[in-house]
Amino acid sequence: QVQVVESGGGLVQAGGSLSVSCVASGRIFSINDMGWYRQAPGKQRELVAQISSGGSTIYADSVKGRFTISRDNAKNTVYLQMDSLKPEDTAVYYCRVTLRTGQQARTYQYWGQGTQVAVSS
């Protein structure tokens, strides 16, 4: 089995910074993409940032220039550094990992349980 666990987050004032991290463990052969999504109350879950195994990144327009995604392949860990936070960044942040559990080509997606980020004005 595979476990995906987020940590970090919390409460910060607007303009401040927070970081969240996510580690995948268990039956992992290789990890493809790792990404962060968020879901605010009453809204759909949306992509925040994603990073490939080779380090290519994708960011939502709303966070470009403020958030930075990175990963440590040796630790199966992905990080999200969030700077210049705004109240509209308030949401539950979820980690999603796309991986292979064996030599077969099929990939699987696993989600973490989510971590709350709250930004006060």
Supply the pLDDT for residue 44.
97
pLDDT, one tens digit per residue, over 31-47 is 999 999 999 999 999 99
Supply the pLDDT for residue 57.
98
In the chain, what's the furthest Cα-to-Cα distance? 49
Which residue type, as a one-letter code, is found at position 81? Q
pLDDT, one tens digit per residue, over 70-110 is 999 999 999 999 999 999 999 999 999 999 998 888 999 99
Supply the pLDDT for residue 103.
86
Q: Tell me, what DSSP letter sits at residue 55?
A: -
d(CA 80, CA 48): 9
d(CA 46, CA 82): 16
